[in-house]
Structure 1
Amino acid sequence: MIQWKEEKMIEVNIEKVWSLFFDENIKKIMPKVEEHTIIEKTEVEVGAKHQQKYREGKRVETYIVETLAFEDSPDKKHKQISFVLGKAFKISLGFTLLKIDEQHTKFIYEGINEGVNFVGRAMLKLGSEKSNKIMLKEFMDKVEQESLKI
């Protein structure tokens, strides 16, 4: 199992950063997502489900993403999702935004990646902590970069 929790200060209004986590903008911060289609409820509801297609090299994985938590208040935004990738990994991700002031937002990104079978557990053990940290930093930087464009 891999677990993480990272924080980053973004010099952008909370509403602008939050807009990146909605369906219409999700590909801006997750460019490997080729399709993101709502199939149950609405995107602002707990229990919402999306079918997502994700490209890794030449391979495209299709899976269902479920929204486990959703909060949209003026000073705090939070979305938690979960999905099983490749029948091998159960991934839970949390995105929290805290309003510091009108032009500063604290972005907290946390998650758990756990193997659901022998293959998944073995692959996680073989994975490098360094590459996980690089992917984390790249995602958080991407959120910052895209929020500065809005």
Structure 2
Amino acid sequence: MDTATEFGRLIGPLRRAILRTRRTADLPDLPEAQIELLRTLAEAGPLSPRQAADRLRLAPSTISNLVRTMTTAGLVEREPSTTDLRTVRLAASPTALEMLDAYDRTSTAALHRALADLTPNSREAIEHALPALAELLTVLETD
């Protein structure tokens, strides 16, 4: 068994299974890119579009398109920079922060239920794998 191949084959279905929990809870179905931007803004505080693009490793034009759509939907707030009036700072709106909290509660509850259905050995294996998965993410993001 090739670990990389098997792990790669599981990532997509795992992610989609978690995303389905949002739909069953009647939460808005936002594209993953929008959710990633909202998470970044929620964690880092107000950022310039360039900072957001750098953190997410996206093209500035992609951030611009996301922000345009998300501002119209009331998910992102654009504030003039206090130091450079030619730029803006982006922040997640209170509505977006509430939505992220609802997503997290829903996903966490679904994962708790699923983990409870696993054998104790499987739960323990997943728990022990979490630091290695975090390290893998760091390595992948560095490449």
Q: RCO higher in 1 or 2 (8 Å CA, sep ≥ 6)?
A: 1
Higher gyration radius (CA): 2
Which has a greater percent of strand? 1
